[in-house]
Every structure is written in structure tokens, then in C-alpha cells.
Amino acid sequence: MNRMTAGWLLALWTAGGYGVIALSAPTVIAALWICPVVLYAPGRLILSDLRIERDPVETLAGSVILSLCVTIYCGFVLNILDSLTQSGWLLAEALAMLGLLLIGPGHDVRLGVAAGGARLPRPTAPVLFVGLAAFVMFGAAILLAASDAERERPFPVLQMWLLQDRAANAVEVGVRNGEATEAAFDLELRGEGRMIASYRDMHVAAGATVKKIVQVTPERSDAERIEAVLLKPGEPRIMRHAHVTISRRLENTADSDRRD
Amino acid sequence: MHDMTAMAARRESRLAALWRVVWNVIGRSHPKPLRESDRPFAWGPLALILLIESILLFVVAYAQGLGRIGDPGAARLFWPSVFALILPGAFWATRPTLDRRERLLALLLVGEALYALKIVYAPLGFPFFDEFLHWRTSLDILELRKLFVANPMLPVSPLYPGLELTVDAVAKMTGLNLFATAMLLVALWRALSVTALFLAFERVAGSARTAAFAVAIFMSNSGFVSFHGQYAYETLAFVFFLFICMLVLRLESDQAGDARRDTALALFIAPALAVTHHLTSYMTAGVAGLAALAYLLRPAPRRALAPALLVALAAFLLPIAWAKLISAPTADYIGSTVVGAMNDLGRLLSGEGKGRRLFVSSDGVAAPILLQVAGAASVLAIAVGLTFGFFRTLTFRPPRMAVGASRFRPWRSSGAAALGLLGAAFPITVLFRLTGAGWEIGNRLNPFLSVGAAFVSAVAITHFFQARRRGLVSQTLAGLVLAVCIFGGMVNGWGVAALRGPYRVEADSQSIEPAGIEAARWTREALGENNRFVADRVNNILLLTYGRQHLLSTLYGDPSTALLLYNPTFGPEERNAVKTGAVDYLLVDLRLSSDLPKLGHYFEPGDLDQYGAPPKHRNLLKFDSVAGVDRILDASPLVVFDLHGLRNPVAVSSTAIARGRPPLAQSGASGVATREGAP
């Protein structure tokens, strides 16, 4: 291929790459546009510049390995320029390829791998069918493994936290239900010998978080231990509990709800 | 006098006859070149192998699902399926007559199928300890957009960012998430490893069949399936290592111009290797140096000597220069491990020390006997291969190399000789694996030295065991032996942990589950990043990655913190550890008290030996009653304590404790709590 043509193709690829980034194209399209070029072309250009034309298998493997090296070197340059970004990478790869096109000797550039040897025969229809069946089976294996992994929950994911915000004289109590079904709880916020706030039969959807921000001051001393307790409605057993020690500086009470 | 002379002559002739027999067995190369490639390329068998592997992979996935729920039938389904997964590709790739590309593709199918085992093992996230360490470095580069951000659990990782840069480039440009990008790239690296190795062996042996045998035997190294299937810097560096080896080993058969170009390519890759993994770069220098020595000792042709030396020097000096440039603590990092391993090996050889119990995990559970047999058979097969192949490799003449042997030319192929010498060092890895401290060194050296051992064993097969017997029975037997070797190698490297099981304490991948992950995520959302945390081994890696926290580690100069969780009371010693380590938070995993750690320790190496038992439940929760400590997250069985109050007592008060009010009873994890009456 003429080097000028290769240059135009490179410009087209770079523009397409920016289009992919600007339009936030689907990952599959972005991967198909970017990967074959970034993981092959720089290395292939190096081989072409060095006039190394060998067996196709070696050319292919060598091109990919050299492209990985080019990517690593580009990464260091981008780090120096503080540009390890999406567009930074695209520009760096494009400039590296442009450089390889420009510094090479005058001969045409080769981008293919077929440098002699018998061509591979075309697969027949039954072979394609068997190959397709294999890929379907492979996909099914991955899906099965993923679904088993997703379902594996040896311990319940139920979090309750209690954090204090000293500046706002408030505490935040939160509950996250990481299970697959909605759950109901009673939530109590207790001071020393007093109930600060109580939320009965609080429903938390699957995967949802409920946060309560409560303003509170120590009543009888400079500091007070505040406890949050999560209970199953109608049952005495405490499911979760947390505590913080707050110090005086606080003004009492108004509370707000937040659901994420 | 005459009788004595006759006896001496008879003895000499008997010795000579014995030596001829021995030499015929261990040393003489098969004089005829191997018959190669008289069968055209066909897609059919490859498609069939792919289908068989896919079906078996589905069975493996099903078995993993059973393993997750603790079904005892999982093992009976899993291990035979893994063995059957290897067999067709190994058998087909090493048939006597086959197109070389078909051989290579069959090997690629075996290599990728073995990698797919890892995907099926952990399809949703990284499962291995080392992967988490590199994942943290990748996250830093991805999110902070700069290199060399400190990694608290593996400080050298950000200093060698080759791996992370390649993943960062693809992930950023395509928008793929980091895990998916890493999985795809590791699959690509696996393909490149197999291809580079095949090409190297093919060039040295002058035979695609010998190369196929060698690659298949190489797959039996203990790191092939699991360690080099990891998202870790050595995985990528090993690809560079193999490609440079290929370039160096073929220098002697290159034309002058080709030799210059190959040297240029090796020198282009060497810096990338140096910034990807230090040890692999040194190993590359070693192999290139060995090749240079072989070229030096063989008088003709000499043109390969200078390029090989140049590559060896580059591979040796570049990582040293890089380490100086970035002040990498590699000497400390590697030195202590090597010294410990050598001491342990010395004690073992002198009979003073006890060896490691083979096929027994840290918690004392032994592998099933059949797996033990496969693992031992794998190593034994290589030993047999080395015995029958070493001298054959030294006297080996590739078909295209016309120069005959003479007394001034100790070997005919310097590439083969270099591989032979490399293979001769293979038993060292086995010795190291017998020791406690050197086990990891043996494991890490194994893939590198297996390159030589695989070639020597392949020469033994093609030039001795299968030199004349090429029938179907012999082929099937060879395929079976290869499958046993690869299977045994997987057992030696990954062990019984390759099959999923229910949750276990401190078992890395077997301990990673949603409750731990969500707790780590919460720390990042609620507390921010890079707080100084104390936690156990598994929660450390979750906090490091999902939580983006800074973990204290004795490996890197932080004070020991195991006492915080082991000791029954919180006294001056514990308070001092918190202050010295500037500990912000403590993540307590209540499950630790329920079992021994599968991987030998809870918080830091040696803690179980020191304390002798799991930490007690009440000791883990003593912080509930320590003044100045807040219990800020209850995600039972995980609890997070805020220790800021211990470091800055002005901000807290101990009134609740001082007035004798007992701390609230235990949460749901212990099942002893009751509801307190509301006022």
C-alpha cells in the first residue's frame, strides 16, 4: 500500500475514533473500531519499516507484540504530558503510527500478513455449523457460570451505619438492603436513656438505601453515646447495631429523610 | 601377566558395550529427519475439538456451580471434564503428519480452553490475590490519569506499569470496563505466548511436530493455567520474554540481514519488558546470555554471538537503569524472598529442615489421591524426558542445518544446546517446591525453566520414544501422556482450589463474596479514599480495590496490628500500635473466629503460629467497649470501627462507659442480642 494512502486511512481512523468518543458509541462498536488497529497496526508498520516479511503467523504475532510495546511507550509520553485520557491515547497512537509511516523508507507499506505459504482453505458449511455450535456452547458455559456466581450469597448483604457530622451537629443513619427482595425494618436511634428517633416498619426495596439525617445534642453531659439499632418488625432480635460518641456543641433536632 | 592383560581388555570391552547401550538409550539422535506436513490443512478436526472443549467447559461451569453450594458430586464432574478438555487438542496437535498451522491452532485451542477455566471459575470479577494488587494500580491510572501513584500493598506495582498501560489504553479508548478489558487482553497474551513458543521451538528443532510436543509439554508447567492466566505483570512480561527468546535462539540460522533486524526487534521490546516486570527481564538476560555462551563455544558461525550478547546486556541493564531511575525497592523486595528460600533449601539438603508436605494445603487438607498421582506423574514425565532428551538435544541437528559435527564443534545447534542447558536447570524448581519458604520461588522459576525442559522432553519423544513407533496406539498414548502432564501441571499449580467451594476463612477467591465487597464499597462512599485501615488478608484486598483505602502492612514497614484483634483487652500496647500506625479505621470480620485460615494466616504471615488459634469472637468485638472507638458500620459479619478517637482523645468522651452502662448487646451475627425497651 502506498504510504500516502496509508496516511489517509490513518486520518480516517483517527477521525472515526474521535467520533466514537464524542458520540459515546456503544462499547462493541468502539472496541471493533479501536482494538484491531491499536493492537496490530503500529507493530505491523515497524515490521514493514524494517522490511521484515516472514511467515504470516510470525508477522501477526510480532505485530501484536510490537504494538503492545508502542502502547507502553505512548503511555509514558502521555504521563509526562499529563494526558492519560481517552482522547490522549487516541492521539498518541495515531501520532505513533504517523511517525512510523513517515520515518520508514520509501517503499510501499505492507499491512497484511499473507507473505507466502499456502492459503488456508475456506471452511465448509458443516464446519461453520460445528464452529457456531461451539461458540453457542461456550457462551452458554460463561452465562451459566456468571449466573451461578451472581446467585452465590453465602451471607446477607444488609448494612447499617451511623456517622456523625460534627460541623452540622448531626448524625446520619443509613440502611442498605443488598438482597434481592424488599425487606421491612424498625430503626431506632437511642441516646443514653432516651429515644432520639424511631422509624417503624420501614420498607427498603431490593438494592436500595435509606438514609436519615438527625440533628442531636448530648442531653446530660458533654458527650453522649448514640446508638442506632435495626430490628425486624415485631421481633426482639437486633439485626444490626452501630454507635458513635457525640460531644456537646450541638443544637437539637429536626430530621430529614433521603432515599437513594 | 598375560591373563591380567586379557582380563583388563575384557573388562574394557564390557564397559564399552555397556556405554554403547546406555548411549543408545540416552544419547543417540534419530538419524533420519522427521516426516513433516504431508497432510493438507483441514478445519474440520479443529471445529470438532472446539465443540468438544465448549461442551466440556459447560460441564465444568455446571460443576463449579455445584462446588459453590458444596455439593460433593462437583469434584467427580469437574476433574474428569478438565482432563477430557485437554486431551483432544493435545492429541491432535502432536500427530505425526499435520499442517503446521493446524498444529498451532490445536495448541491455541488447548491454551485458550485452559484460560477459559479461569473465566468460568470467576466470571464476574478478579479472583486471585495478585490480581487485586494490580487492579488497584490500574484503577489509579484509570481514574487519576497518572502513573506511579503509591500502591500500599504492592509498592513495586506502580513502578512497573507496562501491564496497566496496555489495559488502560484499551479500556479508555473502547469504554470497556477494566475487568472485561483485562480478561480479553490476558486471553490475547495467552495466544501470543503459545504462538511465540511454537515459532521458537519450530525454528530451533526444524520440525513443527517437535515444536507441538514441546509447547504441549510446556503447558504442563505449574504456572501455565493459573499464574500466567492472572492479571499480573508477569503475564504480559512472559510474552515479551518468549518473543525475545525466539528472536535470540534463531539468530544462528538467520541470514546476516535478518539477524540485524531480529536484534533490532529484540532491542525494541527489551525496554517495554524492563518497565513491565523486573524479574522477567533478568530471566530474559539469562536466556540470551546462555544462548550467547552457546554461540561463543561453537566456533562457527559467530555472527549470532554479538547480537545475543547485546540483547542479554540490554535485558540485564535496562531494568537496573529503570530501578535506579524510579528508585524501585526491588532489591529489598526480591532479596529477602530469595535469601529465605536459599536458607530453607540449604536446611532441606543438609537434612536439618523438614520439607513442605506436597499436595497438602496450608490448612492440612490433602488433595485426592488421583490428583496427587497426576501431579507427580507430570513432574516425573519431565524428569524422564530430561534423562532421555538431554544428550540428544546437545547432539541434535536440525534438518536444515547442514554443518556436520566435528571435535571442535561441541554441538551442532547452539539454540538447541542453550535450551538443553536451560532445561537441565529444571530440577532446581522441583527442589525449591519441596521447601516451605522457597515454594514460591520454585513456582515462579518453573515456567521459565520449563521452556528448556519442554524442548528437551520433546526431543526425547520425537527422537527416541516415537522415532519409529508412529501408529495410532503410540499416538494415542503420547496424547494421553501429554494430557496427564498438562492436567498434573494444573494440579501442581492451582491444586484443588481450582474447583469452587463454599465460603472458607482466608482462602482468597473462596472468601470473596458480596457482603465483603459491599462493605468495602461502603467505606469508599461513606469515608472517602485512602484512609488507613487495618483488616485481615482478604478484606485488605477488597478494601484496596473496591474501597480504594490504604492498608497497613508489616511487609512495608507498618507496625504489626494482629495484636489489635487477637488480644483480649485493649491496653497500652494496642493503643501504641494504633498511634504508631496512625490507624483510622478497623474492619473486623467476625467469620475469622469460626475456622483456621486456609492460606495460613489471618492478618500477617506468622500470626497463626504466634497465637496458635483463630482470634476469639469476643476479642474481635472488644472495641465495642473501648472509649473513643465508634462502631460506624454493622454489615454483619463485617463491622467497621472508627479509631480516630484513640488518636485524638479531645474529640471524644467516655461517659457512656464511665457511667457503667453496658454496651449494647451483640448484633445479629452472634444471635444473642435482644431488643431493648424503648423509653
pLDDT at B608: 83
Whether the predicted pLDDT of B663 surpasses 50 = no
Which residues of A are less than 8 Å from B195 in CB distance?
A: 57, 60-61
Least confident of A48-62, A200-214, B495-509, B655-669: B655-669
- Which of helix, strand or coil describes residue B628? coil
Instruction: Please report, to the nearest 10 degrees, the dihedral formed by the alpha carbons of residues B261, B262, B264, B265 taken in order.
Output: 120
In order of B223, B285, B294, B421, the CA distances from B416 in angstroms are 23, 17, 9, 9
C-alpha cell at B137: 494500580
pLDDT at B409: 62
- B244-270 residue pLDDT tens: 999 999 888 877 778 899 999 999 999
- The residue that leads in pLDDT, B182 or B9, is B182
Show the DSSP H helices in B27-99 as ranges. 44-68, 73-93
Show the DSSP H helices in chain A as ranges. 3-22, 27-38, 41-49, 56-80, 86-103, 125-151
- The residue that leads in pLDDT, A111 or A160, is A160
Which residues of B are less than 8 Å from A136 in CB distance?
A: 54
d(C-alpha B382, C-alpha B672), whole Å: 58
- CA-nearest residue of chain A to B591? A155
Question: Which run of H or of E encompasses B585?
Answer: strand B585-589
Nearest CA-CA distance, residue B437 and chain A, Å: 34
Under an 8 A CB cutoff, do A245 and B628 touch? yes
- Assign B129 a pLDDT band (cuts: 50, 70, 90): very high
Under an 8 A CB cutoff, do A192 and B61 touch? no
- B188-233 residue pLDDT tens: 999 999 999 999 999 999 889 999 999 999 999 999 999 999 999 9
Nearest CA-CA distance, residue A251 and chain B, Å: 17
Instruction: From B511, B508, B517, B523, select the one nearest B641 (Cα to Cα).
Output: B523
d(C-alpha A206, C-alpha B126), whole Å: 25
Q: Which of residues 108-167 of A touch B (CB under 8 A)?
A: 118, 120-121, 123-124, 126-128, 130-131, 133-138, 140-142, 144-146, 148-150, 152-164, 166
- B428-446 residue pLDDT tens: 998 888 887 778 888 889 9
Out of B40, B514, B526, the one facing A161 most closely (by C-beta) is B526
Calculate the average pLDDT of chain A: 89
Q: Which of B37, B43, B167 to mutate to test binding with chain A, by most A CBs within 10 Å of its CB?
A: B43
- B613-656 residue pLDDT tens: 899 999 999 999 998 899 999 999 999 999 998 876 544 433 33
pLDDT at B333: 67
C-alpha cell at A117: 505459504
Range B512-527 average pLDDT:
96
Which residues of B are less than 8 Å from A21 in CB distance?
A: 173
Q: Does A211 touch chain B (CB under 8 A)?
A: no
Nearest CA-CA distance, residue B241 and chain A, Å: 11
pLDDT at A254: 44
d(C-alpha B293, C-alpha B286), whole Å: 10
Range B463-490 average pLDDT:
85
Least confident of B107-121, B530-544, B591-605: B591-605
Which residues of B are less than 8 Å from A128 in CB distance?
A: 47
- The residue that leads in pLDDT, A233 or B676, is A233
ipTM for the complex? 0.90
First to last CA, chain A: 57
- CA-nearest residue of chain A to B149? A79
Instruction: Count CB-CB contacts under 10 A for residue B329.
Output: 14
Asked if residue B109 lies in contact with residue B57, where contact means CB atoms within 8 angstroms, the answer is: no
Dihedral sign from CA coordinates of B391, B395, B398, B399: negative
pLDDT at B348: 78
Which residues of B are less than 8 Å from A51 in CB distance?
A: 261
Instruction: Count CB-CB contacts under 10 A for residue B461.
Output: 25
Under an 8 A CB cutoff, do B522 and A225 touch? no
Which residues of A are less than 8 Å from B514 in CB distance?
A: 152-153, 155, 157, 178
- Assign B528 a pLDDT band (cuts: 50, 70, 90): very high
pLDDT at B469: 61
> Of A85-94, A120-129, B461-470, B591-600, which one has max mean pLDDT?
A85-94
Range B36-61 average pLDDT:
91
pLDDT at B678: 33
pLDDT at A251: 45
- A182-224 residue pLDDT tens: 999 999 999 988 899 999 999 999 999 999 999 888 877 778 8
- What percent of chain B stands above pLDDT 70? 90
Under an 8 A CB cutoff, do B633 and A190 touch? no
Beta bridge partners of A209: A176
Calculate the average pLDDT of chain B: 87
Out of A152, A194, A240, the one facing B68 most closely (by C-beta) is A152
- A29-46 residue pLDDT tens: 999 999 999 999 999 999
Instruction: Count CB-CB contacts under 10 A for residue B311.
Output: 29
Q: What single letter denotes the amino acid at residue A101? A: L
- CA-nearest residue of chain B to A155? B515
In order of A17, B372, B484, B491, B612, the CA distances from B360 in angstroms are 52, 10, 20, 12, 19
Contacts of A24 (CB under 8 A, 6+ apart): B175
Q: What single letter denotes the amino acid at residue B380? A: L
Dihedral sign from CA coordinates of A112, A113, A115, A116: negative
Instruction: Count CB-CB contacts under 10 A for residue B403.
Output: 12
- CA-nearest residue of chain B to A24? B175
Which residues of A are less than 8 Å from B662 in CB distance?
A: none
**DSSP character at residue B398:** -
**DSSP character at residue B523:** I
pLDDT at B360: 79
Asked if residue B570 lies in contact with residue B626, where contact means CB atoms within 8 angstroms, the answer is: yes
- Assign B401 a pLDDT band (cuts: 50, 70, 90): low
d(C-alpha B381, C-alpha A233), whole Å: 65
> Of A114-123, B88-97, B644-653, which one has max mean pLDDT?
B88-97
Under an 8 A CB cutoff, do A50 and B265 touch? yes
Q: Does A178 touch chain B (CB under 8 A)?
A: yes
